[in-house]
Amino acid sequence: MRVWVDGARVPSDAPAVSAVDHGVTVGDGAFETAKVVDGTPFAVGRHLARLDRTMAGLGLPRADHDRVREGVAAVLDGEPIGFGRLRWTVTGGHGPLGSDRLDSALTYIVTAVEHARPPASGSVVTVPWVRNERSATAGLKTTSYAENVVALARAAEQGAIEALFANTRGELCEATGSNVFVVTDGVLRTPPLTSGCLAGISRELVLEWCREDGLEVREEPLPMAVLTEADEVFLTSSIKDVMPVSAVDGRGLPAPGPVTRAAMDVWARHAARTAEP
């Protein structure tokens, strides 16, 4: 793993962040993950724009994009990463041991690592916990991920690759690190941002590109029961791109089905044109 912290490359196992950094003590920070292919990161500009939205939502100062790009260049320098994960994290900096903040400089951390390519498809399960669409951090990509860790562990215990959440209204929301699309009546559907889901970059691109290419896709509230009726389901994320779901809670699905295959083709065609869509 390649690691850069506040201006310098450091060994991945070396102390590099303060023990009283607010990102460590209370999870007060934002992060972004981008795919790297043959040494080139994908959609960095869109990820930086979302970082701005998360920092603003947390009440933290805007992150310095040039500082982040400096770290990105540092960790991608050298032997090109064939396929990997690039992550940058910006925290509130030094803070007290409680939830209040100090007037501290932000901490910048950038990492990159080789990553196995995702499987061609995978099964998912629903979990009993919910996303709070009215939470102060709803839709923000914060470093407070314990809820996702617990849910993903539950999924792994059941042999699944992802866990799906409802929101407090009983609507389909999202997975731990992915957005979710379903197909009913030949139409692509995905929960709206008002469901409390993250505004995923891959989700955003699927919506844009499918509409541009004439595929009908709708953002609309969806009951959790849609998962028992959907003809197809797929996930989107920065690492997965468009991944067909082969089963939901044990109910088998075509992976991919025809509409999912069309969305995958749309993705492949558009993504091949530029690394900065």
- Please answer whether residues 21 and 107 qualify as being in contact, where contact means their C-beta atoms are separated by less than 8 angstroms: yes
pLDDT of residue 267: 98
pLDDT of residue 125: 98
Report the C-alpha gap between 166 and 131 in whole angstroms. 6
Domain with CATH 3.30.470.10 in the chain: 2-114
Any residues with CB less than 8 A from the CB of 115 and at least 6 apart, and which?
A: 83, 84, 85, 239
Domain with CATH 3.20.10.10 in the chain: 122-272
Q: What is the DSSP string of 184-223?
A: ETTEEEE--GGGT----HHHHHHHHHHHHTT--EEE---B
pTM: 0.96
pLDDT of residue 74: 98
Q: Which CATH superfamily is domain 122-272 in?
A: D-amino Acid Aminotransferase, subunit A, domain 2 (3.20.10.10)
pLDDT of residue 201: 98
Question: What is the full per-residue pLDDT of the chain (277 aa) written as tens digits?
Answer: 999 999 999 999 999 999 999 999 999 999 999 999 999 999 999 999 999 999 999 999 999 999 999 999 999 999 999 999 999 999 999 999 999 999 999 999 999 999 999 999 999 999 999 999 999 999 999 999 999 999 999 999 999 999 999 999 999 999 999 999 999 999 999 999 999 999 999 999 999 999 999 999 999 999 999 999 999 999 999 999 999 999 999 999 999 999 999 999 999 999 999 999 9
CATH dotted code for 2-114:
3.30.470.10
Report the C-alpha gap between 144 and 227 in whole angstroms. 27
Tokens in use for 24?
């460590």
pLDDT of residue 30: 98
The distance from CA 269 to its chain's CA centroid, rounded to whole angstroms, is: 22
Q: Nearest CA to 112 among 183, 188, 13, 33?
A: 33
Report the C-alpha gap between 58 and 47 in whole angstroms. 16
pLDDT of residue 149: 98
pLDDT of residue 273: 97
pLDDT of residue 228: 98
pLDDT of residue 14: 92
